[in-house]
Structure formats: C-alpha cells, structure tokens
Structure 1
C-alpha cells in the first residue's frame, strides 16, 4: 500500500501539516503543505491556467513533491505538496 487517505481539519493555505505514522514499528513524520495558486486576470483561458500551474509547480522547492491538484474555483486552485524525505524519529 502506497497511499492512505486521512481526513484532516481544514487548514489555511501556506501552512504545513505534520502527520506521525508507524510503519513496521518505526515512527515517521510526514509533512504536507497546501498552496493556493491564484488565477491572474478576471477570466483566464484554460491555456493560461495551465501555464500558471505548470510554472508554479516547476518552480516549487525541489524538496517537496506534488501529490494532489485540487478542484479549481473562479479565483484559485489548491495544490498539495509532500516533503520528499520523511523525518525519522
């Protein structure tokens, strides 16, 4: 099993979420970050939205990996990143 879905309380954008798990008795801390990408302009085309997303993802800190692109609304779209290396406790 590679992924487990865990519901967490709503968080504000640009905050880190840390989750501690045990895998075969070893504790790991997983870190997640939610980022909001705001659409530029009043009504960007699909191509413009794609370009904004691609640029934001490509320029993101390489220590983090994209794990989910949320549902867009008129103003923005949420991106969820996970820290690549879990903290070993």
Structure 2
C-alpha cells in the first residue's frame, strides 16, 4: 500500500480520523485512531521503551491494526492505529 502524508491538528489527546479517498475512481474509506500513551502507563513497568511499545500495541483493541509509531517525547509516544476492514 502506498503512503500519503496528511496533516492533522496537534495531538493533545485521542483523535479519531476518517479518510475517504478515490483510487482509480473507486471510493475507499479508512478509519484511524491516534492514541497518546504515557511512558508511565506501560502495562508492565520497564525501562526498555521498545518493550513498552510492544506491550501497548499487543494489548490494544484487536479490531485495530498498528499503522504508525510517532516521534516519542520524554513523557509520551503517539501511536496511530487503522481500523480493520
């Protein structure tokens, strides 16, 4: 699948995003959800941030797939999920 970058408002909390596109005249709809996860909220506390992300993604709603891991800060990481079709 190709990638198109779409700017969205600054992330301060959970955001649900619906995108409708036409590919060769065929309309398609996609749903995305951007979640802000704070490092302190790891399911099993760890200093390893990669392991923390793994835990967060594996424990997320199974109706959603991982779409993108954003740039982390010292306090949190934004993660984007795409709703399964």
**Superposition TM-score, scaled by structure 2 size:** 0.78
What displacement does 1:8 show?
A: 2.4
- Could you tell me how far apart the structure 1 residues matched to 2:18 and 2:58 are? 24
Q: Which runs of 5+ in 2 are unaligned?
A: none
Structure 1 pair 53/28, CA: closer, same or farther in 2 (3 Å)? Answer: same
Report the structure number with the largest CA radius of gyration.
1
Match of 2:7 in 1: 7
Aligned pairs, number: 81
| Structure 1 residue runs without a partner (length 5+) | none
Cα offset, 1:7, TM superposition: 1.8
Q: What is the CA RMSD across the aligned residues, in angstroms?
A: 2.0
| 1:51 partner SS | helix
In the other structure, the counterpart of 1:84 is: 84
Greater relative contact order structure (CA < 8 Å, 6+ sep) = 1
How much does 1:74 deviate?
A: 1.2
